[in-house]
Chain A
Amino acid sequence: MTTLLDPTGELSATTRERAPRPSSLEGKTIGLLDITKARGDVFLDRVAEVFAGRGLTVARFAKPTFTKVAPIDLRHEISTECDVVIEALAD
């Protein structure tokens, strides 16, 4: 019998419940996260305009660079200030 040594990080995945989805955006704060990819702002500007037109509260956020994970402070800020988040990922 051949024995090999496991080359992986030997992690076991844990399952976490998703946050409950709100039934309505009424009275909620909607975070718009720009990851700073080219033209992400164009998309989010338009989204913000649409939400504002519906009388909803929008908070804008941006990552310092799209190449790195969002800093923990930014993630904390978003999670404490917002009920839902929309992220502009693409170019």
Chain B
Amino acid sequence: MQRRTVRALADRRCLTPRHRRHQPDGVLPDGLAAIVKRDCPTCTLVAPVLAELRERADAPVTVYSQDDPTFPEQIGGAIDDTNLEVSFALDLDTVPTLLRVIDGEEVARTVGWSRERWEALTGVGNLGETLPPHRPGCGSRTRDPAIAGARAVAEGATGLQARRVHLGAEEDELEAMFERGWSDGLPLVPPTPERVVRMLAGTTRAPDEVVTIVPPDLVECTVEKVAINAVMAGCRPEYLPVVLAAVEAACTDDFNMHGLLATTYFSGPVVVVNGPIAPAIGMNNDVNALGPGNRANATIGRALQLVVRNVGGGRPGGVDRATLGQPGKYTFCFAEREDTSWGTLAEERGIPRAKSAVTVFAGEGVRGVVDQISRVPESLTRTFAECLRATAHPKLAIAFDAMLVISPEHLRVYEEAGWSRSRFREELGALLTMSGSEHARGTRGIAEGMPEAFAEVPLPKFREGGMLIAHAGGGAGLFSAIVGGWVSGAMGSQPVTLEVRA
């Protein structure tokens, strides 16, 4: 009976992580109960107080230790709760936790050390007189994600809905995942229930919440399915909110992930992360920002691609018909440098700087822009214009978007001259307006170009909102990058920016 109660509470805890206050019948004896661990300085601090209570309190004092039953030595050790059975049943957040139990019911609880609260709870005065008046506690071992995840799996209380795939005893895990077609060509982290439970701890969203409908198979994709693919991609749990936002953004009608996947063109989703979450999860916006070497950058972009592959069923050679493709389709994700007077990409797209955001852009590969000579904005802007004009084709206007990733040394040229982002946009826009003789089909000896109907009309290279500006890269190097887009706007893909939710 007692065991059932404990298990039922553990189940409930997994589905709704917090809070319950009822003490299961019979788990604890009446009187005072304390749960401690040796690996907690506050518990060590209050160990003499527990000895004092044993002598002076009007009720029995039962002590449980989460990590070492020989602790506290002052009272000759504690009841062994290294399996955390009692701690889970009590839904502990913090140690030390002190309880008063009457008739099997928890009637009072306090956490950490506070002389005032301990005295009130125990009815014993002048406790721990040599101690400071209060000291916060430490995390209960039950809150260790690894322990909580393993526990939930063992209890069958994960709430996870995905089909279980049982591998044969002789099957190699990594080979098994390749064989099942789950991989993008690189090894995957096996999505065991334990790892997926730990991944889900990275979000407050319920595992069964539907995030979006993923093309091309138009499958309802739950938080759980995103978490499974995030595990396989190599993400840490704290990246999950960014992955969820990226998946949601990519699967909007505006972004048109289906068309982007199916196209014979090079492009795939490029993810730019802004706001406090980027440094919080250790993303790179500095040296080699668009390249390898950072786990968050590498695995968030990969997780998005794996969701499209596995949940949506979009695979190279299947619905993905790219003629050549490009390596950014394994992963393409970076954080923006926000240490400038120009504001951020997300800010320009409507998300205030205090919030975290992802922007997805249908991008092809990275092409370099070299200008090591220009020291004034007028000259450098002409360089950018000349290079941007070549996006997709120098004679094609409006049809393709682009993202210009400006490096710190190039941006410095503008900041030192007092050029704002809007001034830059204005000057660049003027330089990127093409006359009919520049863009029309057949002119300049090139058949490609804009249809005859536009032959007399000056056209902008980029549609309104079709050129994104981001800032990233290491402090040295007078190089910037252009990431060409795909068919732009309502006819193809529009960049989408979404706030990252916890």
Q: Report which A residues bind B (CB closer than 8 A).
A: 1-11, 64-65, 67-69
In chain B, positions 418-468 with a C-beta closer than 8 Å to chain A are: none
- CB closest residue in chain B, given A36: B491
In the complex, which residues of chain B have a beta carbon less than 8 angstroms from the beta carbon of A69? Answer: 258
Contact A2 B217, CB 8 Å, known A8-B310, A9-B310, A67-B492: no
Q: Which segment, of B10-18, B69-77, B189-197, B371-379, faces chain A?
A: B189-197
Cα A37 to Cα B225 in complex, Å, equals: 35
Are A3 and B492 within 8 A (Cβ)?
no
Which residues of B have CB within 8 Å of A2?
166-167, 171, 173, 190, 192
Interface-lining segment among B132-140, B156-164, B282-290: B156-164
Task: Give the residues in chain B near A1, CB-CB below 8 Å.
Answer: 166-169
Interfacial chain B residues near A6, Cβ < 8 Å: 162-165, 228
A9 near B214: Cβ-Cβ < 8 Å: yes
Question: Quick one: CB contact mask for B175-210 with A, threshold 8 Å, 1 for yes?
Answer: 011000010000000111100100000000000000
For A3, the chain B residues whose CB sits under 8 A away are: 164-167, 192-193
Cα–Cα, bound, A2→B256 (Å): 37
B 219-242 to A, binary, CB cutoff 8 A, 1 in contact else 0: 101001100110010000000000
- Whether A11 contacts B313 by the Cβ 8 Å rule is yes
Residue numbers in B under 8 Å from A65 (CB-CB): 259, 487, 490-492
Q: How large is the interface on B (under 10, 10 to 19, 20 to 34, 35 or more residues)?
A: 35 or more
Tell me if B167 and A67 are in contact (CB < 8 A): no
The answer for the CA separation of A2 and B191 in the assembled complex, in Å, is 10
Most buried by B among A2, A8, A9, A69: A8
- Best-surrounded residue of A1, A3, A7, A64 (most CB of chain B within 10 A): A7
B contacts, CB < 8 Å to A: 160, 162-169, 171, 173, 176-177, 182, 190-193, 196, 214, 217, 219, 221, 224-225, 228-229, 232, 256, 258-260, 263, 306, 310-313, 487, 490-493
Beta-carbon contact of A4 and B165 below 8 Å: yes
A-B residue pairs in contact (CB < 8 Å), sample of 15: A2-B190, A4-B167, A4-B190, A4-B191, A5-B160, A5-B162, A6-B163, A6-B164, A7-B162, A7-B310, A8-B311, A65-B487, A65-B492, A67-B487, A67-B491
Contact B311 A5 (CB under 8 A): no
Residues of chain B within 8 A of A64, CB atoms compared:
491
CB neighbours (8 Å) of B224 from chain A are 5
In the complex, what's the smallest C-beta–C-beta distance from A91 to chain B, in angstroms?
Answer: 9
Q: B451: nearest residue on chain A (CB-CB)?
A: A38
Chain A residues whose CB sits within 8 angstroms of the CB of B311 once the complex forms:
7-9
Q: Which 3 A-B pairs have the closest CB atoms?
A: A9-B219, A67-B259, A6-B163
Contacts of B256 in A (CB 8 A): 67-68
Q: Are B313 and A9 closer than 8 Å at their CB atoms?
A: yes
Nearest opposing residue in chain B for A9, CB measure: B219
Contact between chains at A10 and B163 (CB < 8 Å): yes
Q: Which of these, A7, A67, A68, contacts B191 with CB under 8 Å? A: A7
* Contacting residues, chain B, for A67 (C-beta < 8 A): 256, 259-260, 263, 487, 491-493
Instruction: List chain A residues, Cβ under 8 A from B177.
Output: 4
Task: Tell me whether A5 and B167 are in contact in the complex, defined as CB-CB below 8 angstroms, given that A11-B219, A67-B263, A67-B492 are known contacts.
Answer: no
Q: Which chain B residue shows the least CB distance to A64? A: B491
Question: Known pairs A4-B176, A5-B165, A65-B492. 9 more at Cβ < 8 A?
Answer: A2-B167, A3-B166, A4-B177, A5-B160, A5-B228, A7-B162, A7-B310, A65-B487, A67-B493
Q: A67-B256, A67-B259, A67-B492 are in contact. Are A7 and B192 (CB under 8 A)?
A: no
Specify which chain B residues have a CB less than 8 angstroms from the CB of A8 in the assembled complex: 182, 310-311, 313
A87, B177: Cα distance in complex, Å: 38
> Which residues of the other chain, A, contact B228 by a CB distance below 8 angstroms?
5-7
Q: With the chains together, A5 CA to B224 CA distance in Å?
A: 10
Min CB–CB distance A11 → chain B (angstroms): 6
Q: Which of B221, B259, B306, B312 contacts A68 (CB 8 A)?
A: B259
Residues of A within 8 A of B165 (CB): 3-6
Residue in chain B with minimal CB distance to A90:
B264
- Within the assembled complex, what's the spacing in Å between the Cα atoms of A8 and B164? 11
Chain A proximity of B231: nearest CB distance (Å): 8
Once bound together, how far apart are the Cα atoms of A3 and B192, in whole Å?
6
Cα(A6)–Cα(B306), bound, Å: 12
* Bound form: Cα–Cα A68–B219 in Å: 17
Q: How far is the CB of A1 from chain B (nearest CB, A)?
A: 6
